[in-house]
Amino acid sequence: MKYMFSLFNTEGGWEDASPEDMKAEMDRWAAFSRSTVDAGAFVAGDALQESSTATTVRIPDAPDSSDEPVVTDGPFAETKEQLGGYYVLDCKDLDEALEYAKRIPLFGGTVEVRPVMDFSEYGYEDPAAAQEGARS
């Protein structure tokens, strides 16, 4: 089963970091990512730019609403912690997912672990997967 790991933390704090400090930090993240790839669990993952670069689109509540989506600059909510990155890992169960979450090299933040929906039992075919298969 695939799980999404949403990484929340306070933004900033690296403005005065030396190149050596940044290299050491990136090496820790690379080691974790490499361990998930080596275990065959890695599906996707990336860091996000700061929340000030976000644009939010609020979709109307009713599907037949004549209201247009509203576009605003900035993140959805004003909070101390922001979504800073994510992983999607293929794990055998929640216990394995939680073991990965505990190893993520995040200091003082939160990792939300949530199963990814699988609609294949309802006949849904992922267009991206079909396109990828056609290129192979």
Residue 92, pLDDT score: 97
The number of angstroms, rounded, from the C-alpha of 13 to the middle of its chain's C-alpha atoms is 21
Query: With bands split at pLDDT 50, 70 and 90, how would you rate the model's confidence at 16?
Result: confident
> What is the per-residue pLDDT across 72-87, written as a single tens digit (0 to 9) for each?
887 666 667 788 999 9
Select from 48, 67, 50 the least CA-distant residue to 58. 67
Model confidence, pTM: 0.81
Residue 76, pLDDT score: 65
Q: How far apart are CA 102 and CA 33, in angstroms?
A: 13
**Which of the following CATH numbers is that of domain 2-53+80-135: 3.30.70.1060, 1.10.1670.40, 1.10.260.30, 3.20.20.480?**
3.30.70.1060
The number of angstroms, rounded, from the C-alpha of 3 to the middle of its chain's C-alpha atoms is 10
Domain ranges within the chain, ordered by starting residue: 2-53+80-135
Residue 30, pLDDT score: 95
Residue 98 has pLDDT above 70, yes or no: yes
> What is the per-residue pLDDT across 29-57, written as a single tens digit (0 to 9) for each?
999 999 999 999 999 999 998 888 888 88
Residue 136 has pLDDT above 70, yes or no: no
Residue 6, pLDDT score: 94
Residue 17, pLDDT score: 87
What DSSP string runs through 49-73?
Answer: --GGG-EEEEPPSSTT--PPPEEEE
Residue 78, pLDDT score: 62
Q: How far apart are CA 79 and CA 75, in angstroms?
A: 9
Residue 5, pLDDT score: 95
Better-scored residue on pLDDT, 59 or 37: 37
